[in-house]
Chain A
Amino acid sequence: AQTVTQSQPEMSVQEAETVTLSCTYDTSESDYYLFWYKQPPSRQMILVIRQEAYKQQNATENRFSVNFQKAAKSFSLKISDSQLGDAAMYFCARGRSNFGNEKLTFGTGTRLTIIP
């Protein structure tokens, strides 16, 4: 089975500091999509950032950026200037690119705590 691995069950960071969450994945495809989702206590999953594998440039969304290493099959999320509202579970996910089969494979998540 093609898997997504998040090796850090829990992480913590001081408010206003920077934290990096790790994700590695397994795939035999050359074209695919990668996502980071945030799940606060409300349970609703929120899309944080998206990366297309054929693009070499790392995606950025305000304080959130990724380090995409295709050869290493690594997709880490960097959160800059951490805020209390960033506290949540973060899930990495991979999607296939062939139209008509868009189910995502998720990692087991990293719980991020922000220390005031």
Chain B
Amino acid sequence: GAGVSQSPSNKVTEKGKDVELRCDPISGHTALYWYRQSLGQGLEFLIYFQGNSAPDKSGLPSDRFSAERTGGSVSTLTIQRTQQEDSAVYLCASSSKTGLYGYTFGSGTRLTVV
């Protein structure tokens, strides 16, 4: 696609429910990143996929968070048993080779846990 597409744009869920956030990167981009942006905070790294390599999951805050990338393209971030502190904007980005030339970001998913 022309840009990084994220869905849904906004999601309200009840505490304890599972949610799935989707990211469709730019076609041909081998690297894909998930970041979390809490209110008044910077972006917090969650997970990084590069080609067929094992993902860097070092930023996932708990085992309730997981992500996968199917066929080297679309990625899904899953949050199980959501908590109120999970409320944030979840941003996805992709890059053609390495992120050191700058990412292309999506518009994010605003998750609200009530």
Chain B, range 30-51, C-beta contacts under 8 Å to A: 31, 33, 35, 40-45, 48, 50
Q: How many residues of B contact A (CB 8 A)?
A: 29
Contact with A along B76-109 (1 / 0, CB 8 A): 0000000000000101010100111111011110
**Which residues of the other chain, A, contact B98 by a CB distance below 8 angstroms?**
99, 102
Contact with B along A30-69 (1 / 0, CB 8 A): 0001010100001111110010000000000000000000
Name A43's contact: one of B56, B99, B101, B108 (CB within 8 Å).
B108
**Which residues of the other chain, B, contact A35 by a CB distance below 8 angstroms?**
102
**Which residues of the other chain, A, contact B93 by a CB distance below 8 angstroms?**
45
- B28 interfacial by beta-carbon distance below 8 Å: no
Contact A104 B31 (CB under 8 A): no
A88 to chain B, nearest CB (A): 13
Name B105's contact: one of A44, A103, A105, A108 (CB within 8 Å).
A44
Q: How many residues of A contact B (CB 8 A)?
A: 27
Chain B, range 48-65, C-beta contacts under 8 Å to A: 48, 50, 53, 56, 59
**Which residues of the other chain, B, contact A102 by a CB distance below 8 angstroms?**
31, 48, 50, 95, 98-100
Contact A91 B42 (CB under 8 A): yes
Contact B95 A103 (CB under 8 A): no
A114 to chain B, nearest CB (A): 21
Contact A108 B107 (CB under 8 A): no
Assembled-state Cα–Cα distance A44/B93 (Å)? 10
Interface residues of B, Cβ cutoff 8 Å to A: 31, 33, 35, 40-45, 48, 50, 53, 56, 59, 89, 91, 93, 95, 98-103, 105-108, 110
Q: Supply 7 A–B pairs (Cβ within 8 Å), ascending by A.
A: A45-B103, A46-B105, A50-B102, A100-B50, A101-B48, A102-B100, A104-B43
Closest 9 CB pairs of A and B: A102-B99, A106-B42, A45-B105, A47-B102, A106-B43, A108-B42, A103-B45, A43-B108, A44-B107
